[in-house]
Amino acid sequence: MSGLSGFQLKWMRFIGRMPRATKIEERRAAREALVERCLAYMESSDYKRHQECVALRDRGGETDDSVKEDLRRIEKSSEYKWFQKQMKAGVLEGHEASRVEFFDDFGGGLDPQKWSTRFFWGDAQVGQAYSFVGDPHAYTDGANVSVANGRLVISTRRESVQSLAWDAKMGFLPREFDYTSGVVTTGHSFRMRRGTFEAKIRYTAQEGVYHAFYLVGDSALPQIDVFRTVPGDDRVLSGVYCGSADSKHEASVGKLPYSSEFFILSVEVGDSSLVWKINGVAYLEQQVKLPKQPLYLVLLSGVAPGATPSGESKLEVDWVRCQGDM
């Protein structure tokens, strides 16, 4: 399993094998509503009485008439019959093992308790935003990050600023940048070891500008890119597991209308495997031995070295969701 061409994706969308993001959300909401209703019924007095009566009956011996009557009454009820139907369908299977550990739909703006607009280690060491010495852009401290219409927006634009740049030999140095962009991370607030990491996104495809959502721990490597674009190419390149400095992109997802339509991009992180999906369709799987350190989230955009984009480019994030094992 390695990559999907533009033709494959268009065909899958045409025959309904790749649902739109809105359809996935509708199905998920319906399933979550079923789960909540089942859990609510399990807290009801009828359900608890039924469990009690079953236990008394199964002990053997004489059973009080009230026990028999309550069992008949409850088992004839429409709610009990509905609940049994859901149990046979497996509605609660895996529910406890797949809890949503993190979710943000940005309905209340950018929550500083969840997100920082600085790289985690830069904030810890120098207490301010910084970029890297080879970057044409400066990562501002929130000036390029906003929330509009309930969506996180990271903007990349041409403007001259002075900021700090990290040099592996010289450390943090002040320098001039010709572009600005933004980053948000959860290094200070949320990390997860195993599970599904996903975001619903769309972005402006502009030559020279890239967008990314990746996972990283306390060390720079390994890094797992949930998605990463190539400047000037309107394909999403995903399936990037950076276990070493020379790791390469492993698979691409063919051309789709990423600037006009939202897509759900995800990676499932297991103990020894990674599976990347777009709108629920798997397109790459890798067998890797992952460290046990928990991973935090990074969303950012930037300008490729040597590129000279002229307009503003935006990465829009409708929501971020993490489900699994802390």
Domain termination residue (choose one: 58, 89, 120): 89
Q: What is the pLDDT of residue 99?
A: 84
User: What whole-number distance in Å separates Cα of residue 4 and Cα of residue 216?
Assistant: 25
> How confident is the model over 61-70, as a mean pLDDT?
82
On whether the CB atoms of residues 299 and 198 are closer than 8 A, the answer is no
Which band of pLDDT confidence, cut at 50, 70 and 90, is reported for residue 36? very high
Structure token digits, residue 44: 């009801």
Residues 78 and 108 in one domain: no
Q: What is the pLDDT of residue 263?
A: 95
Q: Which residues pair with 107 in a beta bridge?
A: none
Residues 147 and 254 in one domain: yes
Residue 1: inside a domain: no
Structure token digits, residue 232: 């000037």
Residues 315 and 178 in one domain: yes
On whether the CB atoms of residues 156 and 209 are closer than 8 A, the answer is yes
User: What 3-state class would DSSP assign to 127?
Assistant: coil
On whether the CB atoms of residues 238 and 166 are closer than 8 A, the answer is no
Length of the chain: 326
Computed over its alpha carbons, how large is the radius of gyration of the chain? 25
Residue 67: inside a domain: yes
Structure token digits, residue 52: 């009690």
CA angle 199, 204, 207 (to 5 degrees): 125
Residue 20: inside a domain: no
Residues 53 and 146 in one domain: no
* Residue whose C-alpha is closest to residue 163's, from 206, 209, 126: 126
On whether the CB atoms of residues 172 and 164 are closer than 8 A, the answer is yes
pLDDT tens, position by position, 157-205: 999 999 988 888 888 889 999 999 999 999 999 999 999 999 999 998 8
Residue 203: inside a domain: yes
Residues 50 and 143 in one domain: no
SS (H, E, C) 2-19: ECECHHHHHHHHHCCCCC
pLDDT exceeds 60 at position 298: yes
Total of domains in the chain: 2
CB atoms within 10 A of CB 78: 7
Which band of pLDDT confidence, cut at 50, 70 and 90, is reported for residue 57? confident
pLDDT exceeds 70 at position 3: no
For residue 96, the 8-state DSSP code is G
Residue 94: inside a domain: no
On whether the CB atoms of residues 287 and 273 are closer than 8 A, the answer is yes
Residues 106 and 215 in one domain: yes
On whether the CB atoms of residues 194 and 323 are closer than 8 A, the answer is no
Which band of pLDDT confidence, cut at 50, 70 and 90, is reported for residue 121? confident
Residues 211 and 231 in one domain: yes
Which band of pLDDT confidence, cut at 50, 70 and 90, is reported for residue 2? low
Residues 59 and 172 in one domain: no
pLDDT exceeds 90 at position 7: no
Region of poorest pLDDT, from 57-66, 132-141, 210-219 = 57-66
On whether the CB atoms of residues 303 and 138 are closer than 8 A, the answer is no
Q: What is the pLDDT of residue 235?
A: 62
- The CATH number assigned to the domain holding 150 equals 2.60.120.200
Q: What is the pLDDT of residue 144?
A: 98
On whether the CB atoms of residues 74 and 104 are closer than 8 A, the answer is no
Residues 317 and 247 in one domain: yes
Q: What percent of the chain has pLDDT over 90?
A: 61
| pTM, entire model | 0.88
Structure token digits, residue 2: 């390695």
Q: Interhelix angle for 78-88 vs 21-42, to 10°?
A: 120
* Residue whose C-alpha is closest to residue 267's, from 293, 295, 234: 295
Pairing of strands 171-181, 137-139: parallel
Q: What is the pLDDT of residue 286?
A: 86
Structure token digits, residue 273: 């495997």
Residues 82 and 196 in one domain: no
Structure token digits, residue 56: 């008394």
Residues 307 and 188 in one domain: yes
- Note down the domain range covering 60: 25-89
pLDDT tens, position by position, 13-24: 777 888 999 999
Residues 43 and 161 in one domain: no
